[in-house]
Every structure is written in C-alpha cells, then in structure tokens.
C-alpha cells in the first residue's frame, strides 16, 4: 500500500482502537491512521462540513469500520459511503464483534469489501489484525475521484 493512503479507523472502543493500531503497525504498515470514536465525528470527517465528501478528492482512503457505534449504526455510514460519488470506491473493512450471518450478508450487500469478526481471544485478534495489516500492504487502493 502506497504511503499516501490514509487509514480511517471508526471505532468507539479506545482500547480496541489502540490494539488495532498497534497490531497494524506490527505488520509494518506505516501509513497515517486517523482514529474516530463515534459516528457523528466520522461522518463529519468523511463527508466534510458540506456533507459532499469532496474534501477527500484525490486522496486514497481505506476505511476500517465498527458496526456498533454509540450514536449510530456503522451500517448507516457504510450506506452513505457507498452512495457517495467521491468515496464509493474506497475499500471498507468492517471490523466488528458481530458474527450474525444476516448482518454479514447485509454488509456485503451494501458494498463492504471485507468483513472481519473481532475474535475475543487476543492471540487470534492480534493475528487477524496483523494479517489485515499485511493485506493492506499489498492491495491497491484507488484515489477518490
């Protein structure tokens, strides 16, 4: 993954955010990580003050999304991302504790690119995140149009 890709992490649990960041770094990912802890600030950051998302034009974004946010469902953010003309091509990785089949199907239906269930077992959690980091280092991410 080229250096200019920004990882936007939407995760309400600060501990989780910290652990994810640590483990991504352990995989050798050096990209900038923007951590957002609730839906409202995430929406503001992603779509800007005017709600159009044009601020990110020309940037490459990778979005890490938790579904269980205190103020809204991650699903709503996913819907808005995939409906936005600037952001629709940015890969979205849903990283959440939910392992309900309906929920997983729904996310893929809405255009999520990867769905990962956070394991409770730390070893597998750390492992998953590290592998995700490795995956980040090889994938191509388009710039927002």
Partner 1 sequence: MTARAPALSPTLQPVLLALGFALLLLIGGTSVWLVAQTDADSARALQTLEVKEKLARLQGLVWRAESNQRSYLLAGDPRYREDVQADAEAIDAALAQLDDALKQTNGTTQSVLFAELRAAIADELSMLEQAAGRREQEGPLAVIPELLERSKAEEIRSMVGQLVQQEQRLLAGELAASSRRARQFLAASLCGILLIFLLAAASIIIVRHSIRRMMAAQKALKEANESLEETVARRTAELRQANEEIQNFAYVVSHDLRAPLVNIMGFTSELEVMRKDLFNRRGAGPEAALRGDFDEALSFIKSSIARMDRLIKAILKLTREGRREFRLEPIDMTELVGSIADGLGYQAQVNRASITVEPLPPFHGDRLALEQIFGNLLENALKYLRDDTPGQIRVTGHVVPTGNVYEVQDNGRGIEAKDMGRVFDIFRRSGPQDRPGEGIGLTHVRTLVRRLGGAIDVRSEPGRGSTFTVTFPTRPPATMLETTQ
Q: Binding residue for partner 1 (CB under 8 A) from 125, 130, 141, 144?
A: 125
Residue 73 pairs in a beta bridge with 68
The full length of the chain comes to 145
Host H or E run for residue 82: helix 74-83
Q: What's the rounded Cα separation, in Å, for the pair 118 and 121?
A: 9
Piece of 29-37, 79-87, 119-127, 134-142 that binds partner 1 (CB under 8 A): 119-127
Residue 130 binds to partner 1 (criterion: CB under 8 A): no
Contacts of 101 (CB under 8 A, 6+ apart): none
For partner 1, how many residues bind (rule: CB under 8 A)? 17
Nearer to partner 1, 23 or 84 (CB): 23
Interacting residues with partner 1 between 57 and 96 (CB under 8 A): 68
Of 33, 59, 31, 66, which is closest to residue 137 (Cα–Cα)?
A: 31
- Choices 9-17, 53-61, 77-85, 86-94 (CB under 8 A): range interacting with partner 1: 9-17
Residues making contact with partner 1 (CB under 8 A): 13, 15-16, 19, 22, 68, 97-98, 100, 118-123, 125-126
């Amino acid at each position: 993954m080229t250096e200019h890709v920004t990882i936007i992490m939407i995760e309400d649990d600060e501990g989780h955010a910290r652990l994810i960041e640590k483990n991504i770094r352990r995989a050798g990912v050096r990209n900038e990580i923007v951590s957002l802890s609730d839906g409202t600030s995430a929406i503001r950051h992603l779509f800007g003050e005017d709600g159009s998302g044009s601020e990110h034009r020309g940037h490459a974004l990778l979005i890490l999304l938790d579904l269980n946010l205190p103020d809204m469902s991650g699903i709503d953010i996913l819907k808005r991302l995939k409906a936005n003309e600037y952001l629709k091509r940015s890969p979205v990785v849903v990283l959440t504790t939910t392992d309900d089949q309906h929920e997983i199907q729904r996310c893929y239906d809405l255009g999520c690119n990867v769905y990962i269930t956070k394991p409770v077992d730390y070893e597998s959690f750390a492992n998953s995140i590290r592998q995700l980091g490795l995956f980040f280092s090889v994938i191509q991410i388009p710039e927002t149009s």
